[in-house]
Amino acid sequence: MAIEVINIETFLQLRQQLPVFDVRSPGEFEHAHIPNAISLPLFTNEERALVGTQYKQVGKQPAIKTALPFFAEKMVPMIETVEKVITKNKLANEIIVHCWRGGMRSAGVAWLLNLYGFKVYTLQGGYKAFRNWALQQFEKNYRLNIIGGYTGSGKTEILKVLQQQGHNVIDLEALAHHKGSAFGGIDMPAQPSQEMFENSLALQLYQHTTIVNNAFPIWLEDESQRIGTVNIPIKLFEQMRESPVYFFDIPFEERLKHIMEGYGKAPKEKLISAIMRIKKRLGGLATKNAINFLLEEDVSNCFSELLIYYDKLYWKGLHNRNNFLELVKTIPAPNTNAQNNAQLLQEYLNSTEHD
């Protein structure tokens, strides 16, 4: 079986059925990779640095001679890794291999795996081609709908219900591993790099506009551009700011109750650390009060103090839109029950369909 070189369009289709093996070094993979790709490094980080230096300073042939012993010792383990993936997932004997730009690393591993008996596809241009494609996705125009509401409104939970109902949904906070506020990183996995966040987001945009329900809008949560340490790509963020916002107007006490359920049992030291991060914006007195309430085990009053601050912040961001009156649709809701609020949303949409 001949090794088949595929372009990015074919790759995007095949990756839905076939395992993708990334033969770049562990450090490259950890920084960012194609979502769901499996790391199958040809070189360690140190080996890659050594071979790369030789290639630049001495030449191609000496670098290959240096690389071959590293490759030789990994041949059997690489084959066995691929076999395990295929056997575990009951897949066909077909795989995709890529490196940084479709060069010698993927060519070498593809040769080995093809020789062993796998049907091998390699991505033309490698990870670099995918990365360029990913960045292009943020230059496109999308039909977006935004779920809005003050902090504690259960916006993420509404998105989950919409997703269960078959709507196109992208959970930006799930991709970012962060819930958006100064407290958003508590009990969450480490955040991805900006590049990895963009890769995941690009694929979700592609899937929702190319593969499923492409005639329907994508639902997102109203976010600041920055979510923890990552940023929503600027053009997409600008589109979010120009899209309809379905704002759930939920009583303060109900939202406070919802926040208590989410953060009430978080470690005090993490809560205090988060409060200190917003000390300048929160103000000295409010910061002191919030921390004192927390130390006195009065979590409710602590979060009440913080909620007042976040409500002001969100109100400012909500109104800082062109055509605010046209874009923001208010939906009064008695509490944060996501199922009920998704129903209220549907009723609102139905009532305005023929307006």
* DSSP secondary structure of 58-123: T-HHHHHHHHHHHHHHHHHHHHHHHHHHHHHTT--SEEEEE-SSSSHHHHHHHHHHHHHT-EEEEE
**Measured between alpha carbons, how far is 240 from 317 in angstroms, rounded to an integer?**
12
Question: Residue 245's beta-bridge partner residues?
Answer: 146, 328
DSSP state for residue 181 in the 8-state scheme: S
Of 247, 236, 168, nearest to 197 by C-alpha is: 236
The distance from CA 281 to its chain's CA centroid, rounded to whole angstroms, is 28
Of 314, 334, 315, nearest to 252 by C-alpha is: 334
Cβ–Cβ under 8 Å, residues 194 and 231: yes
How many Cβ atoms sit within 10 Å of the Cβ of residue 142?
19
Which tokens is 353 given? 């369909």
**Measured between alpha carbons, how far is 147 from 9 in angstroms, rounded to an integer?**
32
Catalytic residues: 99
Give the C-alpha distances (Å, rounded to integers) separating 88 from 21, 32, 121, 324: 15, 25, 20, 52
